[in-house]
Amino acid sequence: MAGLSFLIYWVNISIVEIVQTRKTTLLNSYLPLGFIIMVVVYGSLRLDFGKATSKNTITVATVGTDSDISGLPFADEVTNNKYKSALMNRTEIAAQKGAKLISWNEAAIFIQKEDEKNWQDSLKSLAKNLNISLIASYVVPVSTDPLKLENKFLSINSKGQIEYQYLKHQPVPGEPSIKGKEPFKTMTDNGLNIGGAICYDFDYPYIAKAFGQLNANIVAIPSSDWRGIDPLHTRMSGFRAIEQGYSLLRSTRFGLSAAINPLGEMTAQQSSFDIHNKIMLAELPSKRIITLYSIIGDSFVYVCFGLLVLLFTTIYRQQNEKNSR
């Protein structure tokens, strides 16, 4: 995005300079034109290659909750058990329809600390019995005064084994979640290398980059949005898919759920505001595409900055020469 913004700026300032000076130079014509041609050619090749490698797909699903976890007081035990049953039933339906990877939305249910062991056992049995890879997101209250939560998910393989636990690394300002600090990991299961992060985490490019370095095929993003940022927040995550060349499965409460391929295209989408069905099925490529950005990272940004300095220096010298005559 930084490189594209620079190119737009460069082209426009070059046009202004040509109009004012009625002269073409290396910096105001040939170089920007060359960059435009390179971007168009690379983009065309990337699209063609991406479509050629996206023929092998896997069925995935997002499963939404009925729970509305927004702070105290939490739902009573009877209501919370209804939420649990609904989650389990929807997960079974998604698996019966062919989903091999299923992700719940962020904070799908709250679980008391003393009940967490039994809850985890039930999740392991669920994944094993359905032969699915499961990203099971939930919240564990740690304290109520002040309110502190573990906003987490379990990455569970089709054998019913917990591969790892993930705590949200970048809580939204004001969110009472304990910040996760564990290294990023992936789960290899059902022929996939599956990563995962929670909602706001994926606004940070370094987190998206970490899963590219781990060679993830698909990254699940349990999320929870609100009207003010929906559906923009989901669409923003598509840039991370384009940058790193993997697919995204974003399961969203109060917003747009989407399956996004490595080209940034949504192969399926479903808004919780418009559709009351809590299950979204989709097909996503099972292979990752190695991208230029995943190799060079932000190096191009520094090159652009250097060119910008050179451009301003050249314009400044030309103006001084013109004024001294």
Over residues 67-78, the mean pLDDT reads: 73
The alpha-carbon radius of gyration of the chain (Å, integer) is: 24
Q: For residues 217 and 56, give the distance between their C-alpha atoms in angstroms, rounded to a whole number.
A: 12
Range in 71-75, 210-214, 282-286 with the lowest mean pLDDT: 71-75
Question: According to the model, what pLDDT value does residue 15 have?
Answer: 83
Question: According to the model, what pLDDT value does residue 75 have?
Answer: 79
Over residues 208-214, the mean pLDDT reads: 95
- For the beta sheet containing 162-167, the strands, ordered from the edge strand earlier in sequence to the opposite edge, are 162-167, 147-156, 133-144, 101-104, 57-63, 279-285
Residue predicted with more confidence, 151 or 35: 151
Q: What pTM value is reported for the model?
A: 0.84
Residue predicted with more confidence, 262 or 74: 262
Burial class (CB in 10 A: 0-12, 13-18, 19+), 313: exposed
Q: For residues 64 and 106, give the distance between their C-alpha atoms in angstroms, rounded to a whole number.
A: 9
Place of tokens 């649990």: 84
Band of pLDDT at residue 71, cut at 50, 70 and 90: low
Cα separations in angstroms, 60 against 221, 258, 281, 306, 312: 13, 11, 6, 43, 50
Band of pLDDT at residue 72, cut at 50, 70 and 90: low
* Structure confidence by residue, pLDDT tens digits, 249-307: 999 999 999 999 999 999 999 998 887 789 999 999 999 988 888 888 777 778 777 87
Cα separations in angstroms, 271 against 107, 253, 263, 280, 304: 17, 9, 21, 10, 38
| Residue 52 clears pLDDT 60, i.e. is over it | no
Q: Tell which CATH classification among 3.40.50.720, 3.40.50.150, 3.60.110.10, 3.30.43.10 matches the domain 58-286.
A: 3.60.110.10
As a whole-number percent, the residues of the chain with pLDDT over 90 amount to 60
Q: What residue spans define the domains of the chain?
A: 2-51+297-324, 58-286
Is residue 200 classed as helix, strand or coil in its secondary structure? helix
Band of pLDDT at residue 50, cut at 50, 70 and 90: low
| Residue 28 clears pLDDT 80, i.e. is over it | no
Question: According to the model, what pLDDT value does residue 199 have?
Answer: 96
Question: According to the model, what pLDDT value does residue 312 have?
Answer: 76
